[in-house]
Homo-oligomer: A and B are copies of this chain.
């Protein structure tokens, strides 16, 4: 299963808003459609958003009517700006656009056709690398999971949040494949219910034992000693290890610490933003009130009620037991380890 792919010159993705009820693929042949799909959360999850942005820019290149290098670059800048404005928090969005634009400006590419071909290839490379990165994180992370462990996860950091395989779900998949008997507590993750709709669906497809719980019940099971390890994904991590992730992550981390349960963020290097010294600089997206007042089009709160709906929160680095990256598990002090991991990625390939 790929959450997103390039097929016959178009971008194909699962419309995740309709899961678990319907599994529907949608196709786009205009980058604006991809931008809208990101904004409206057909596709979500930082790595998947990054891949979508890459493919969006590939579409912009492939469909551009530009005759000159300069005109094409100008079209691409415009498309990148549209894609950049879709969602403010996920690091991978900006990382992928930057990487695509750098490729477009590559002086080795001589004409419009070469740039167009190179950008499609670069977007495909970003997507393929994402899957490889996730598998490596899965291997590193599985070493932290013991036979019999009960694992709690928040939101969906699975195949659907990436191109495939997942971030926080990658170690869970690997541990399951290794024959470790694990059980996963899945937070439903209000307001958009990514846990109930997406993570539960992914785990059930693979036969990984799970229990779905309300977000409010996480503390109950942690307090009862029924959670051995917590794994979450990340939307952006600052240089000091502060991490923006789905709203509710911060409180889970606090409860984990209070109860001595190890808490890991699974973070591919494109999610690490070394330009920000701390989480205080990470922009937090505020989403529409209707996500809280309505479920499936049905109103659940009084008409006119004032709502606040931050989509992410910041978990300070001190709550993290360690960070799982594709280059290995980073233990505190985190700052140096994060810098080295990002450097290692730059040496390997096109990563930031």
Which residues on A are within 8 Å of B, measured CB to CB?
A: 20-21, 185, 188-191, 193, 196-197, 200-201, 204, 209-221, 223, 246-248, 250-251, 254-255, 257-258, 292-293, 295-296, 298-310, 313-314
Contacts and interface: CB of A to CB of B under 8 A. Distances in A.
A214 B295 contact: no
A91 B201 CA distance: 38
18 contacts: A21-B299, A188-B190, A190-B215, A196-B301, A197-B300, A197-B301, A201-B302, A204-B302, A210-B306, A212-B305, A212-B308, A218-B251, A219-B250, A219-B254, A220-B247, A223-B313, A295-B300, A298-B298
A300 B214 contact: no
Contacts of A213: 292, 307-309
Given A212-B293, A251-B251, 7 more contacts: A21-B299, A189-B216, A190-B214, A204-B305, A219-B313, A251-B255, A295-B298
A190 B193 CA distance: 11
Contacts of A250: 219-220, 223
A270 B177 CA distance: 53
Nearest to A295: B295
A298 B255 CA distance: 31
SS class, residues of chain A in contact with chain B: mixed
Contacts of A305: 196, 200, 204, 210, 212
Contacts of A301: 20, 188, 193, 196-197, 200, 212
Copies assembled: 2
B308 A211 contact: yes
A221 to B, nearest CB: 7
Contacts of A216: 189-191, 215, 246-248, 251
A295 B292 contact: no
B196 A292 contact: yes
Contacts of A223: 250, 313-314
A313 B197 CA distance: 25
A215 B215 contact: yes
Contacts of A212: 292-293, 301, 305-308
Nearest to A189: B216
B308 A20 contact: no
B190 A302 contact: no
A22 to B, nearest CB: 12
Nearest to A193: B300
A302 B200 contact: yes
A189 B247 CA distance: 15
Contact of A258 (B201, B218, B258): B258
Contacts of A310: 217, 220
Contacts of A304: 204
Contacts of A246: 216
A301 B200 CA distance: 7
Contact of A309 (B209, B215, B217): B217
Closest 3 CB pairs of A and B: A216-B248, A219-B251, A20-B302
B204 A292 contact: no
Contact of A306 (B189, B211, B251, B303): B211
